[in-house]
Amino acid sequence: MFDALLAVFQRPNFLTFVIIFLWGFFIMITRYNLIKKLIGMYLVQTSVIFFLVSISAKTGATAPVLLSVTEPVQAVDYVNPLPHVLTLTAIVVGVAIQGVGLALCAAIYRKYGSLDEEKILEKLE
């Protein structure tokens, strides 16, 4: 147990990831306003991006571009490009989801006159 706590305090960015993720998840579950739910979803997406950036950090490494073919390739000398690609993809998907979500919120507000989930459900019944 002590080793797990020591590992968490040596890498505080993972603790920050968990806190932001749970905070966003809590907002998504407990709030009835649709805009607040979108903000919670944005926090969850941002925490995942932060996690991908955190795991891709590597000191003393360079971009995975081979400058010379004569030297043997050592994987330790290069950064893994996959987390960076996933981060860019997550950013693009997150912006698209936020845009569509805001457009849906605007359409819901025009039709029902409210963004409160309970009031919208009352009007649907």
Cα–Cα distance for residue pair 21/19, rounded to 1 Å: 5
- Average of per-residue pLDDT across 4-30: 86
- Average of per-residue pLDDT across 43-72: 82
Which fold would CATH assign to domain 2-56+76-124?
A: Helix Hairpins (1.10.287)
Domain ranges of the chain: 2-56+76-124
User: Residue 92 is which amino acid?
Assistant: V
How does DSSP classify residue 73?
P
- Average of per-residue pLDDT across 98-122: 94
Assess whether pLDDT exceeds 80 at residue 66.
no
Better pLDDT: 95 or 78: 95
pLDDT at 3: 79
Share of the chain above pLDDT 90, in %: 54
Q: Is the pTM of this model over 0.85?
A: no
